[in-house]
Amino acid sequence: MPYALITGASKGIGRAIALELAKRNYDLLLTARSLDLLNEVAEEIQKLYPVNVHFIAVDLSENNAPQKLFEWCIEKNYAVSILINNAGAGMSGLFQDSSLEKNTKLIYLNVVAPTQLCQLFIPLLLLQQHSQLYILNIASTAAYQAIPYLAVYASSKAYIQKFSRSLSLELSEKGISVTCISPGPTDTDWAKTASVPAKALKMAAKLNMQSSEVAKNAVESMFSKKTEVVPGFLNKLGVFMTWLLPKKISERVAVSLYKE
């Protein structure tokens, strides 16, 4: 069976997606920064399901990392029929207080890497002549509004949402289905690594979904060939209210949550 390639697969939503696909008998190619965590995930999956799992440690915030991942697949002759761009990071705080290096790495990881991976792997997917070819991009409910003090992250996810919709239309006639899923707060360590303020964490805790729940929704949406999905009723409601309300109101709410 062709492989599903998952970035950011060592923990959180990426790990949960890997488990969900293994449950469906998909062989897996996993990548993330930590070799040790990837090894743990691979061992866990192979104990539970009779699938092949291969992995490589790559930091997708680094220059040429997507090319390195692509060349690994070519060298090993892995037939990829599913590309899942899950790797990403967040960073909160006043934009001008963050370093140029940190902002650039965030943009590279959240925007440049998934864009390059799509460009590199689309021809490889098409070579499979497989009737079921998929790209799944992970955005965020943050994609649907400007979020002061989370400016680069929210903007990067808005790009992924728009990019995915555009690709979906371009690739539909070629037999590749493109899905974008935009989770809201999820029970991962994202908020901690992004240094989200306590008041925003308190609000997010009321909306938190489990990684396994988001992953199941994402995989089912992908196989159903849905273009754009927001998992969870409250998240859908939040996105709708953001669309309904004047932008200044939603942006002031964001300021009240994310400003230290």
Active-site amino acid positions: 153
Sign of CA dihedral 181, 139, 20, 31: positive
What is the residue whose two structure tokens read 């449950």? 23
AA letter at 173: E
Q: What is the CA radius of gyration of the chain?
A: 18
AA letter at 127: L
Give the count of beta carbons closer than 10 Å to the beta carbon of residue 241: 14
* Structure-block tokens of residue 40: 């743990």
CA pair distance 34, 162, nearest whole angstrom: 30
- Cβ pair 146, 251 in contact under 8 A: yes
Question: What is the Cα 115 distance to its own chain's centre?
Answer: 12
Partners of residue 57 on adjacent β-strands: 32
CA pair distance 25, 50, nearest whole angstrom: 7
Give the neighbor-by-neighbor strand order of the sheet with 3-7: 53-57, 27-32, 3-7, 80-85, 133-138, 176-181, 228-229
CA distance to 3, 35, 72, 156, 201, per residue, from 81 (Å): 6, 24, 15, 26, 37
